[in-house]
Chains A and B, each alone.
Chain A
Amino acid sequence: MGKKALLPTIVVFATAMVFAGVPARAQDAPATQPAGNPSTTTAAAEATTQPAASRPAGPRPGGRGMPMSPTVTISGGRILTMDSKNQVINGGTIRIRDGKLGAVQSSAAGGPPQGARRRNPFFTFIDAKGRYVTPGLIDAWSAAGLDTGGPSAGGKASHSARDAINAFDSQVYAETIRQGVTSLCIEPPSGNGVAGLAAFVRLENPTDLDATLTENACLVIRVGLGRVGPFGRLNEIKALRTLFQSAKDHREAWEEYEEELEKYEKDLKSGKKVKLKKDDKEVAPEQGGKPTPPPPPDRRRGRRRPPRGDDAHASVRFPAAGIEGLYTYIPGAPRCDKHPWVQMVCCCPEDHGEDEVKCEHDHMDDVILPDWLTSNLNSGDSARKDDKKDGDFAKPELPARDADLEVLVQTLKRELRVRFEVHRPADILNVLEIVRDFNLNATISGASGGGYVADQLADSEATVLLSEFIPSASFEPTHLRDLRFDNVSRLRSAGVPMIIGSGRGGESGRSPYLAQLAALAVSQGLSRDAAMRAITIDAARLCGMDDKVGSLEKGKAGDVVVWKGHPLASDSVVEYVFIGGRQVYPPVEEGDE
């Protein structure tokens, strides 16, 4: 009760609004609408156009011609819009209607407008004088509601974090909201290797996963966490290269198939009897065809001897070394186009051009691969299996389907971002090389040793997602041992864009502490503006959600927080949180006046 005296004036004209987000009601409401009928209300029509995985996060349309969602007016506050101009509007007004933001007005509304109640009984007016008003904070790296233990090894590319979220972990979600965070990008838990797809969740109704905006905000891959021995590291990096390469092969196999299918159908239509001459292709690749990939190597065979003497003009070399010590890494040597981790050096370049240098394609035998990758590789191999056919012509054979490789193919097409959690500076450089070679749209998360390779990170144009700021005080060798107090300032001097997420510590995540983590980053050299953007609009952009959330701009989701004090100040507390125009903090009790 004593606390209420501190709150600014709140005038709630009707209380029925509190039911707007109760799941039972929310589910009832659309049932009254004819499903899929394009002539229903606007909101329902929007619902039908949304992809299946992202049903509208805003309020459901109500029956009886009455909006279930209240109109909210927040007036007189210091509005940090977080828009592209980074506008700060003192004493402005924002309105949320039907769950969406209206344009920010530069003057205070003089109180609830005349007749507001008659027009809309679900009307909330908040006098935010002397308060800060911001978009709901966005945690670009959250583990809220996850059992962070997760599998100790990697998962698969098609694994989805959404399947691991405990939506009933209501306490952590309630506290997350209480600290002004309204959207989370939840990463799948895993050990080293491919973790799976991260989900982007608006906390509109944490127990209702339909509020998930997307299930594939990015693909998460973890490298070099925990105690990794030297050979473990070599294998990890090599395994990643192999994985992306098999995705590349998969993509090519499908593209080839589609090309051939098109040709086949065209020929079939023209009534011609066609012959598919695979041999022609092999001897004349320059005529537009592609060389047939070699048969997949049989890994059960013994280790192959390296080519030697005059028999081999090219010898195969392994950058990862460690293989009988015979090979050395030669920078700048040409790479096999099928297996880019293989470098080829010819002993007699004067005899022929570089074109003749061939990869033996047998080196796969020499690589010890972790199980998770082997399975990925096998599926990749089957995908590019030589489509040998009986008879003269046939419909091209359908390459094998592989859900994991298909996810990876999306990353190669830059349709899906890849987020590498990697900490050690040397590991970061290895990952950046993979990013460059496969032209990935990459984020480097963790990056606790990023300061050491800040220039390389800046050159790579990758975004860095930080979550740790205090170096460990103990001697235990963890992946965080390269963290220094000047990590942030070094990254900033190099011009590396930084996003701040809460990371994956804690029993059920530490999203509630997002603003304090951003404050720590400020103490270490990040500007206040950059830190605010790192937990709002820039975080939204990193997750591909900047068209929906992250700033106070017309048409975006009505996720708004009213703060007593600047959001980054440790002694400032959250007074109101609206998600989709619905007040979620302080929680509105049934029957409250």
Chain B
Amino acid sequence: MLASWFAASFSAAAQPPPQLLPARMQMAFTLGTHIILACLGVAFPLVVLIANWYALRKDDPVALLLAKRWSKVMAVVFAVGAVTGTVLSFEMGLLWPRMLGQFGDVFGFPFAVEGIFFFLEAIFIAIYIYGWKRLSPKVHLWTAVPVVIAGIGGTVSVVAANAWMNHPAGFTMTPSGELTNVDPMAAMFNAGTGYQGLHMLLAAYMVTGFLVASVYAVGWMKGRKDRYHRLGFVIPFAIAAICTPIQIIVGDTAARQVFSKQPTKFAAMELVWKTGPNQPEYIGGILNEETGEVTGAIAIPGLNSILAGFSVNTVVQGLSEVPPEDRPPANVVHLAFDTMVGLGSLLLLLSGWFGFVYWRKRDLPKSKLFWLLAAASGVMAITAMEAGWIVTEVGRQPWIVYGIMRTEEAVTDAEGVWISFGVFVTLYAVVALGTVVVLRGMSRRWRETSDLDDIEDTDVPYGPRHAHEPHESEPG
């Protein structure tokens, strides 16, 4: 009896409801903003933990100062990330009530697990951030460990919910729209959870590592070539550089999973029009969605088939296989995919460059080009990650639950979604501005303060002692 409303909503409307567009835009905008903060919330603790551990092990005051300052930046970012994340849990119901009403007890479970991880993260990050002065150094260092673990667990759980939308599992649907045989574990550990979770986790470490490192790369280029900037660059950059090659392998595996499980998305990513073997790999290019012609692309014969199934004979399903109303906007998906892969490859080269020079010379690269690219690496990593989300989300359209529920069937009937979209854009712009202003204020203050007159920092046993070499400080 309860399902009548939801079952009724299943008869697809002829015209998409007017609130679909603003609802999608609001979701994309708020999620796209939150994901950057979430990456920092998940991965920054590891960067800080490593700096703190190194500082204690080597009795290194510079590393300790970095760890302390980074933890303060982390505090601000985590706070903003916590509230923008809360907005998303409201929006799940405010914008997509019918998906939640229909499938809440199937795919809600990973969110509940994520809630517990987030709880642990919020508790221990508070203990770590506020525990610098009064906890013993060892205990304090250890309080960062649960933060790192909870961040990993939380990422995998919440991505599992998204993976479920791509690979719905853990239920059977009767023709009337009732769900039976609900199995929350099967929903959580669906076919996409493994690769999507790992892909996102590595992306979080790359975004954070490259972003933090790029701040110090800018300082380095401005001539602040001291130990503070060297460490501030090397610790996060090394983390990101280690993750990048692994990410390329995971991403490649992910693409093959998409090929086998979500053929339409794969066809859009690669601009495949007609089903068949020996598909070329298009780099760039625009598909004419009437004629199926691709123009302006660099085409590498057979490579797409080889990448999908290790052979030119691999048959790849084309977009023309599905009716037009069931196709995603292929060009958006394809260009986003190329952006992600292109930037990922560039970051791989940059990581290799850093690794090679460090291996041969035990020193940082001298080339100006390296530092220019390193300074841009944070923005590149963020762009690649956002492009990746466009691939997976736009590529799934018109479905919100792949093959089962259309996005227009899930959307709210509420009026005024355009207004709420406008309000959230304004709100987030203000919050973003505030974040930049306060972080810059902190960095300016730190640059003006040399450690020696930083009384508050020196009068406690566990705080940065005097630096052995004079240095200027750049934002952390």
The yes or no verdict on A and B being binding partners is no
B-side residues, CB < 8 A to A, are none
